[in-house]
Structure 1
């Protein structure tokens, strides 16, 4: 697979256009002539005006067009537009700018917006969640500004949630700088609200950003601190408290598994299963879902990370009804199961599991890196299913291995 910098400028523009934007469309979007667009596609020298117009229309940076910086993985023009709007909302509101809000929303409206954003996020519709989160951040900031200092707590809580959602979407779509900024603002806002529970949630969110940024030691320290901060008494804990605690302790196990620390993983999973058993069923609270099924499905992925495919598959066999899980959680479990099957050299079973998940949730799948890892692990076997799965994740399978199949692969 060619590096982004190895493409010509014309090739990079074509890849950024994707299949849906023709040269005539791009000319209309930029206000440039078709001849100018054609010249750009033929690697003619770009004027600054042309370069800026192309970057604006394609919702990317000039450095990406010039090959100085790679575009973020699997992001099309719509994704980039959402990230830009989300970035503006996060940075502007943090600076006290929230133009465009005619009237600050009521608290009930903010609560509804929170639920809708999380609903989209846990369905795996990340671009839609980000698109909704941008105006939500602005509206929540306006609501805080509209209230007297002593009456801001509830609005601050909503704003912290909005920043956290923005951070989660940015982190998942690979915009690490925005993820750090949004999580930082979520923390500062939760502190202003004097909300310990939200602070713990933000702490766990920051730990996830650290995890995806390969800052494992810091991620584990923060994940542990978040879980300890809200550890409840099991005898008196509410379902809401157990949901938040269980999800936090489970995430601490995830981070520990990435570090290969089996002892800590064992301790955390024991507490996770205890919390799930105490609950008796799945429960939603504060943008998360937890219960006995969640505890077990996530334990499958944790054991895969530890290289214990056999144990992961035995756990998978014990899982029955998955209908209580969110779509994103079901899809993630399928990926983990497929990975365990691949590690166990159950090639056909792995591809069958993977193909089912990708066909059920193509929008979710295009933002995941694990399918590509699984396909490469399965190898170069020339099977119809391997070819189908390769096409679903945007790679071409052939005699020479794997190569980009579409423009999107390079993104």
Structure 2
């Protein structure tokens, strides 16, 4: 099984091709600051993975981008895909029971850099690239037995990607591993945040009552009392907001509105948009989820009213969240018969985050509905539909 693909080429083949006649294996290793043994084994095919840090070094030495070196992983087309299979195997791996010499350990100083990079790629919506990067990164993080927080983050980002790629069973396994690792980290805010992510997994699976209950329980454990740090408030507010979105999907409209109001109070107390534990929270996130709740409860006019209070057009939100917010607004306009406005918003979402859009069921659903209306069936929308796989 090959974890890194560029077209039909494994990672080692690509390294050998790029190295060409420019460098010997030893020269490339010295230029990149990696072992010659790693280069040799990659090119021979006896090693099929490398740490994110080593891949960055090899890419710089070969004067290519990381994306050009590893290429997009094979994503699940028609129920299969080698790249996503590797990611599924990675979250249920047994590498710790096999030969540890095949795992390239992550140096402690590289752990934070690796996780920062993986999360950055995730929030940019470039899931194709993560399919290639996460398997080896996760194996290396697992080898760092003294850092359960890093292991939790590794499983967490893997689970989030698997959710986006519609692999719910593997995503659930990954997030449960992340929760277990977070519980060992001694960081109650990380443990609470991971329970919020598990609540999201339950929501995606349609288990709305359990999702709300888990988010509420996690929030109760860290409920602010007295002086609380901004990260503590942010994590608490995010959990309450997650519970609100779950309640809306369970058609508990009043409960959803009450939870939204509570999260809004917390956001007002913080007074700014924050990003703690890879989770955005603040006035912008509350505005975004207020729109989501309005859409889920089919109160489309209220959803669009809520959108008007979004600070700075959502500039504080991660890229994927901004695109999702535009899509929610597009759906609200479409349901109100305002098809031109809906088309403009969904086109803007796809232009903003094209890699993200092609994996989103909601984007495809809104686009498909708009193609059925004469006034919004424009060449631009038809072209976008082709890019995201809507026929």
TM over 0.5: yes
Which one of the candidate residues 101, 104, 107 is aligned to 1:105? 107
- Aligned equivalents of 1:250, 1:204: Cα separation in 2: 10
Going from structure 1 to structure 2, the CA distance change for 1:94 and 1:390 (only over 3 Å counts) comes to farther
> Could you list the runs of 4 or more consecutive aligned residues of structure 1 that deviate by over 6 angstroms after TM superposition?
none
SS class of match (2:251): coil
What displacement does 1:246 show?
A: 1.7
Query: Which residue does the alignment assign to 2:236?
Result: 245
Query: Which residue does the alignment assign to 1:357?
Result: 349
Going from structure 1 to structure 2, the CA distance change for 1:93 and 1:185 (only over 3 Å counts) comes to farther
Q: CA contact under 8 A between 1:341 and 1:349: conserved in structure 2?
A: yes
What is the 5 A alignment of 1:169-248? 169-233=161-225, 236-248=227-239
Query: Which residue does the alignment assign to 2:119?
Result: 118
Give CA-to-partner distance per residue, 1:174-213, whole Å, 9 cap, x none. 1112112111211222233344322222222222221111
What is the 5 A alignment of 1:1-12? none
What displacement does 1:257 show?
A: 0.6
Give CA-to-partner distance per residue, 1:288-330, whole Å, 9 cap, x none. 1111111112211111111111111111122241222111111
- With the length of structure 2 as denominator, give the TM-score of the two structures: 0.75
What is the 5 A alignment of 1:252-331? 252-321=243-312, 322-331=314-323
Query: Which residue does the alignment assign to 2:44?
Result: none
Q: Tell me, which stretches of 5 or more residues in structure 2 are unaligned?
A: 1-5, 14-74
SS class of match (1:289): strand
Q: Tell me, which stretches of 5 or more residues in structure 1 are unaligned?
A: 1-19, 30-73, 145-151, 396-405
1:136 aligns with 2:126: no
Give CA-to-partner distance per residue, 1:80-139, whole Å, 9 cap, x none. 343222223222257544553344421x32122222111111111222234332222111
Query: Which residue does the alignment assign to 1:340?
Result: 332
Q: CA contact under 8 A between 2:155 and 2:174: conserved in structure 1?
A: yes
Going from structure 1 to structure 2, the CA distance change for 1:333 and 1:130 (only over 3 Å counts) comes to same
- Aligned equivalents of 1:197, 1:99: Cα separation in 2: 34
Give CA-to-partner distance per residue, 1:214-260, whole Å, 9 cap, x none. 22222222122122222223x52222112212221111111111011
- Aligned equivalents of 2:149, 2:120: Cα separation in 1: 18
Higher relative contact order (CA 8 A, sep 6+): 1
Residue range with higher mean Cα deviation, 349-358 or 90-99: 90-99
What displacement does 1:362 show?
A: 1.2
Which one of the candidate residues 141, 152, 156 is aligned to 1:164? 156
- Aligned equivalents of 2:257, 2:143: Cα separation in 1: 45
- With the length of structure 1 as denominator, give the TM-score of the two structures: 0.71
What displacement does 1:385 show?
A: 4.6
What displacement does 1:285 show?
A: 1.2
Provide the aligned length of Structure 1 versus Structure 2. 320
Give CA-to-partner distance per residue, 1:20-43, whole Å, 9 cap, x none. 979xx9xxx9xxxxxxxxxxxxxx
SS class of match (1:372): helix
Give CA-to-partner distance per residue, 1:64-94, whole Å, 9 cap, x none. xxxxxxxxxx8459x9343222223222257
Q: What is the root-mean-square deviation in Å for CA atoms of aligned residues?
A: 2.8
SS class of match (1:116): helix
